[in-house]
Amino acid sequence: MIRIPHTIVNSIIHTARRGAPLETCGLLGGQGEVISFFYELTNADASAEHFTLIPEEHLFAIKDARRRGLNILGVVHSHPASPARPSEEDLKLANDPNMLYFILSLAGPEPVLKVFQIRQHIPREVPLEIAIGTREYGRLVLPDSVVQDIQGVRHQVESFVRKETDAVRFRAYRVPMGLYEQRQDGAYMARTRLPGGVADAHQLETLADLAERFGQGVLHFTTRQDIQLHNLAIENVPTVLETLLGAGLVCRGGGGNTVRNITGSPLAGLSPTETFDILPYVVQISEHLLPHAGSYNLPRKYKIALVSEIHDERLLRVADLGLRARLKDGQPGFEVWAGGGMGTHSLPSVQIAEFIPAQEAVLYAEAIKRLFDQYGDRTNKHRARLRFVVQRLGESAFKELVQQFLAQVRQEIKTVPPLRVRQYAAVGGKVLSELLPDVVEGVGPGRYAIRFRPWLGDVTSAELRTIAQAVKRYALEFRADCGQGFYLAQVKGEDVAAILETLKAFYQPVPAAAPLACTGAATCRLGMCLSRGLAQAIRETVLALPEDRQKSLPRIRISGCPNSCGQHPVAELGFYGAAKRVGGRLMPFYNVVVFRPEGKTLGQKVGDLPAKAVPAFIQQLESLDTIAETLAAFQTYPSYEEAPDYYRDWGQTVDFSLAGRGPGECGAGVLDVIELDLKTAENELRQAENSQGAVSSAALYQAAVAAMRSLLIIRGVETQKPREIFSAFQQHFILPGWVDPAVEKFIPALLDFRLGDLADLQAWGPLVRSLAARIRELYASLDGNLNFRITPLAIAEKAADALAAEPASDLHQVDLRGTPCPMNFVLAKLEIEKIPVGHRLEVYLDEGDPIKNVPASFQDQGQNVEKIGDAPGKGKSVIIRRTV
């Protein structure tokens, strides 16, 4: 019984149909009785009745198969108009008794594939099984657990739709499944992971079909080799995921605190410039990590990148685990980097090992996962990524820990078979960019790879179908890249022109005219600036430049906020959104970042400028070496009266505002603006202290306005007008009891001062100071959902009133020193059940595990851990506020 994957059968059929009425031919590689690779070869005869292989191609296939650890098991050719049985000619020429002769007939209504062994010119048909989901080169076999997880989606979704599951709990379920809610309510995005960027034509067609049926035809290529479906109604999500599963695609781990898609250099196995073919390792690591439930409940996301080409190395430094292909004494292996990542606080990874044998890559992936699982800070998701573990422990302690976990993993995983990889004796392939930009030499005689960059990664379902058809028609390999685009590889020289013509909408030979941008404030709650609008403006600017200037500019990467979704930390020229107050108004701004691939750090900020000045800046930018000088010319900002346009973001006709933006996950943008206002308030307060009379009063007034304004943004209020600030502050902060109620009496004084009816505010100095301090305290307590983690004063007071009979303090104590884990937690929990909700319990604990474990256990159970510290004479102490 010979097994052949249905995808390969499809390729054979497509090749035959395309070649008809002439016969087409090829070779099939595999191991034992399983076919796993198809080499489409040229029929030198160009005949409708017979075929001959070209020796050069034949030899290439044999060598290539050997590099992949395969044997050539069969030869396949088509019978465009005759049945699927060997012809007289076929029998006469067949002289290898071990070879399998595959014949595809197109004579009937449906194609028929049969396979024969031919001994002494007598054919014997061999049973053939067309297998779905068998192992194929570069394709992972989905673990059963993942398949089952996806089969459970329908139940979870139905339960949510019936309102049996609340939105919060459903979110906790769906995000690790790769399902995100979009900014508009009720619309969902499904992120399909493509390990190494690999997808076949059938999978691309499936994605296109699903987008068309359920997602308004919208698809998006990400920066990590995923393809996203958008605008899905929740009711359709189960069908979408099940259909994807049927095509061998999954979204599991597409989001949330999971092992995310494992990326690889997109032309792995298809490029003569690579060190060796890393794709088998991408697959191996994926297959190892995907089945473990622990891979979906990490402190934060875990991104792994494998790199085998020089120009992808930037990705190595921003991955939680980066593996760079190396050869040592001819043996494949990896250089290991860990703890890199991009976000509001991007950090480059540190080197863990200079060289490890390639088969150990999976051990490192597992060890780092365990280390991260145990040491990642689950209490603060803004500091949860692996890079903060490195920062907290220090590089050398971190490296030691890696070795400890590695030793543990080695105990459990004794043998990992080395994978056979393609390996090139010398790195010497040439990029044929002098011929055509973005067309590079592929492997095999006369084969090329072409890079495509759909605008900002967006394609329609019809466009994706066109791509899929090209893959089929020209027998290409599709690979998503790490820059919102894709490659088509194994292009025959004579097909290059036709393919470029078919897909010209995506072919952008000027990198600078195809910026990479995050989704931006238009659809992202975190965003500050409309990054996509800027990308469009840059494109127009670049395309208007003379050709030599166009080529001299690098690809530009834009993030709408300090989060690095637009990959600005690894951009040769990057921008990230910000906001500045100019004359009391907010102006959309961008910070400019430059990354030197050879450097040891990530991109460094070189300055900033108004969003509206960016195109002019790019126009004038002669060279990255003189960027500071160019930037200096953009440091004066027009007033609102002179150029109101500067106060509006790209594509907007209304003034720039951050109202309604939330931090969601990180929210750095909004927090920056709050910080700015708070700093202003604190500076004004210092000014008030260091001055007298009218100057001091004016400073107090400014301090009060800035302090009151700062937090309004998280309540959706963004205004410059003092009267509006006061009334909104009254509504959102004074009445709910977040600040001292005495502030209410202060507002009339502020209004009087503004109108000139009151000249001296100095009597209010202490109140303004305590207000600013309280606002700072509230700000510091903001959690990821923009809620304050401290209790409003009013509630604290009411609780105190209600318990007037009790002692004034709401703080209860229990001494559990000497009680080991977990009994100390059990007893502390029984104590907290005795106190009213809102009260606090201080627990005295021993050092070591007790003070580590007990607060974490309370945190897990939804109680509020307010303080962990030393209790003089009583060991360690934790204060917990009972919230449930």
Binding site for other proteins (CB under 8 A): 155, 164-166, 169, 822-823, 825-827, 829-830, 833, 857, 860-862, 884
CB nearer to other proteins: give 75 or 157: 157
CB nearer to other proteins: give 170 or 388: 170
* Angle separating helix axes 237-246 and 153-161, nearest 10 degrees: 170
In degrees rounded to 5, what are phi and psi of residue 195? Answer: -55, 125
What does each C-alpha distance from 199 to 187, 206, 225, 250, 438 come to in angstroms? Answer: 26, 11, 10, 12, 20
Q: Beta-carbon neighbour count of residue 328 at 10 Å?
A: 12
Give the number of C-alpha atoms closer than 13 A to the C-alpha of residue 398, restricted to the C-beta side.
24
CB nearer to other proteins: give 156 or 519: 156
In degrees rounded to 5, what are phi and psi of residue 809? Answer: -80, 145
Distance of closest approach, residue 159 Cβ to other proteins, in angstroms: 8
CB nearer to other proteins: give 226 or 831: 831
Distance of closest approach, residue 815 Cβ to other proteins, in angstroms: 16
Distance of closest approach, residue 323 Cβ to other proteins, in angstroms: 38
CB nearer to other proteins: give 490 or 857: 857
Distance of closest approach, residue 828 Cβ to other proteins, in angstroms: 10
What does each C-alpha distance from 712 to 715, 732, 775, 780 come to in angstroms? Answer: 5, 8, 11, 15
Distance of closest approach, residue 140 Cβ to other proteins, in angstroms: 25
CB nearer to other proteins: give 60 or 858: 858
Distance of closest approach, residue 176 Cβ to other proteins, in angstroms: 16
φ/ψ bin of 553: left (φ > 0), alpha (ψ from -120 to 50), beta (otherwise): beta
Q: In angstroms, how far is CA 580 from the centroid of its own chain? A: 28
**CA–CA dist 652, 649 (Å, integer):** 5
CB nearer to other proteins: give 660 or 822: 822
**CA–CA dist 370, 406 (Å, integer):** 9
Distance of closest approach, residue 251 Cβ to other proteins, in angstroms: 23
Distance of closest approach, residue 246 Cβ to other proteins, in angstroms: 20
**Beta-strand relationship, 458-460 and 876-881:** unpaired
Cβ contact 699:687 at 8 Å: yes
Give the number of C-alpha atoms closer than 13 A to the C-alpha of residue 641, restricted to the C-beta side.
1
**CA–CA dist 500, 505 (Å, integer):** 9
**CA–CA dist 189, 178 (Å, integer):** 8
Distance of closest approach, residue 384 Cβ to other proteins, in angstroms: 22
By the 10 Å C-beta count (0-12 exposed, 13-18 middle, 19+ buried), 194 is classed as buried
Cβ contact 60:134 at 8 Å: no
Distance of closest approach, residue 378 Cβ to other proteins, in angstroms: 16
What does each C-alpha distance from 576 to 458, 559, 860 come to in angstroms? Answer: 21, 5, 35
Distance of closest approach, residue 64 Cβ to other proteins, in angstroms: 43
Distance of closest approach, residue 169 Cβ to other proteins, in angstroms: 6
**439-441: strand order across its sheet:** 198-199, 477-480, 486-492, 447-452, 439-441
CB nearer to other proteins: give 129 or 164: 164
φ/ψ bin of 808: left (φ > 0), alpha (ψ from -120 to 50), beta (otherwise): alpha
Distance of closest approach, residue 163 Cβ to other proteins, in angstroms: 8
In degrees rounded to 5, what are phi and psi of residue 333? Answer: -165, -170
By the 10 Å C-beta count (0-12 exposed, 13-18 middle, 19+ buried), 602 is classed as buried
CB nearer to other proteins: give 175 or 796: 175
**Beta-strand relationship, 350-357 and 71-79:** unpaired
Q: What is the DSSP string of 633-649?
A: TT-----TTT-GGGGS-
CB nearer to other proteins: give 169 or 867: 169
Reading the block at residue 339, the tokens are: 């703890």
Distance of closest approach, residue 824 Cβ to other proteins, in angstroms: 10
